[in-house]
Structure 1
Amino acid sequence: MPTARFNGEARRGAFATITARIERGRPTMCGRGGLDFDWRTVWRYLSLAGAPPDGGERRLNIAPSTRSRDGVDWRTLPAVRSAEGERRVDSLVWPLVPYWLKGDLPKFSTANCRSEPDTPFAETVTGKPTFRTAWKRGQRCVILLSWFYEWDQRTRPRQPWRVLPTDAPILALAGLWDRSPTGNDETMESCTIVTTSPNALLRDIGHHRAPVLLDGPSIGAWLEGSEDDAQAVVRPPPDGSLRAHPVTTRVNNPHYQDEDLLEVADGG
């Protein structure tokens, strides 16, 4: 069984949101999420060995890092990686910063790595310079969220929805990671969420993309399998695996973290 360990930052109770000053606006898929779990639940669900750390994660409205007047406001997501038979949970910057940008936040969106219908993922991703190196090096990860938010593209104003797992305690999402030098012999590790075609639920709420949702066997294929094994799990979430309800439009402001984000909005 793979073992799990935390890096030094995580032992100090990391995965905290670095100061969030994010511009308003509707994100792209999958560009907003939330965390609300304890680490014991993660350890059990992912069958990780060793004792989990105390406590958990609770961030109700997470957006990718963005630029501000004072520089870049970096945000992170917890992610599982595997190396030499060992699984570890780390805090990775979101979105992905390719190695050739040397730690600078991209001026284009890298929160998601889009797959294409009827095209092998390996073929699609090797045509994307931002993500190509991570894929070729086998730098795959599983990004953890409790839910993600989506906006109905058909409504004006666009209605936000909170999308949760139907039965699983957390969402395990396929991701890629990269390492970028930042100077002074330091590096930044960052991630992107792989997206695919929507399932029936996401189509019903007016959205055209979905994250690649993983379960026990597909987690192993993505983390430790061959390239063929990994690309075989890039598919829409099974129907019935997700549920959703409308939420307050206050979620449009990524500063907003109040409890009413968890409530069903009027009309839901």
Structure 2
Amino acid sequence: MCAHFEAVYNPERLRKTFGLSLPEGGRRDVWPAYPAAFIRYPRPLAAAPATGEGDAPEREALLGRFGLIPHWAKDASVARHTYNARSETVASKPSFRDAWRLGRRCIVPAEAIYEPDWRSGKAVPTRIVRADGEPWALAGLWTGWRDATGAVQRSFTLLTVNADQHPFMKQFHQPNEEKRMVVALRAADFRTWLQAPLAEAAALVRASPAQDWQADAGQDAEPGAGAG
């Protein structure tokens, strides 16, 4: 699972990688319930603004809370338990199934994720980056709805897959725990993930090669949130 990531905070870096402007108000160091940018295909929620050619943009970056908050949730505290969606149960778990069924898939830009390395017998927070130095494009789901005041509430979660046999990610989390990892997308897959039919997009929910991952020893900025 991934409860902590470092958002892409350099506007030029986001524009270069994703071709989008960085929304204001996001946090650089992101924990569950914190605001951060996510990228979606505009049409599922509402009609998208027209471009010069009269077509909707291919994607847009918006601000949302880390941790999916369904419309039926009593308050935003549910985000502390919905920041990761297991790929094996995403289609059936009440918190995620509507977003999955409706095709509300998103990309979460990140400079790094943080996971605890337990090989020494203690949890050592480890900063994990792409080996090529580019930002991560993490596969997620989003939701959006209006509260009683009419304000739009947006949130997102990160999809995870089993990593018990992954050469890199199997070293993280406690020895007796199942190993999980986020789903990293390649630029060539952005359109498929955001716009393709469910069956085609679901094929991208898989572990990426170990050579794509690189660890740097790091220090958590603050205590982690509750387990998802």
1:241 matched to 2:212: yes
Give structure 2 stretches of 5+ with no counterpart.
44-55
State the Cα distance separating 1:205 from its structure 2 match. Answer: 4.1
Deviations 1:6-40 (A, max 9, x none): xxxxxxxxxxxxxxxxxxxxxxx210011354222
Residue in 2 aligned with 1:173?
138
Cα distance in 2 between the residues matched to 1:230 and 1:58: 28
Cα distance in 1 between the residues matched to 2:72 and 2:93: 14
Change (3 A) 1:36 1:93: closer
1:203 matched to 2:170: yes
TM-score by structure 1 length? 0.68
Deviations 1:174-211 (A, max 9, x none): 01011244212223110101111233111134571110
Residue in 1 aligned with 2:47?
none
1:77 matched to 2:6: no
Cα distance in 2 between the residues matched to 1:54 and 1:188: 15
State the Cα distance separating 1:91 from its structure 2 match. Answer: 0.7
State the Cα distance separating 1:102 from its structure 2 match. Answer: 5.2
Contact 1:38 1:56 in 2 (8 A): no
Deviations 1:97-154 (A, max 9, x none): 01111554218610000123xxxxxxx3221110001111111110111001001245
Letter matched to residue 105 of structure 1: S
Cα distance in 2 between the residues matched to 1:35 and 1:107: 17
State the Cα distance separating 1:62 from its structure 2 match. Answer: 2.0
Cα distance in 2 between the residues matched to 1:54 and 1:113: 24
Letter matched to residue 142 of structure 1: I
Contact 2:117 2:171 in 1 (8 A): no
Q: Aligned residue pairs: how many?
A: 205
Give structure 1 stretches of 5+ with no counterpart.
1-28, 66-74, 117-123, 255-268
Q: Percent identity?
A: 27
Cα distance in 1 between the residues matched to 2:96 and 2:189: 21
State the Cα distance separating 1:55 from its structure 2 match. Answer: 10
Which of the residues 186, 197, 200 maps onto 1:229? Answer: 200
Residue in 2 aligned with 1:131?
96
TM-score by structure 2 length? 0.80
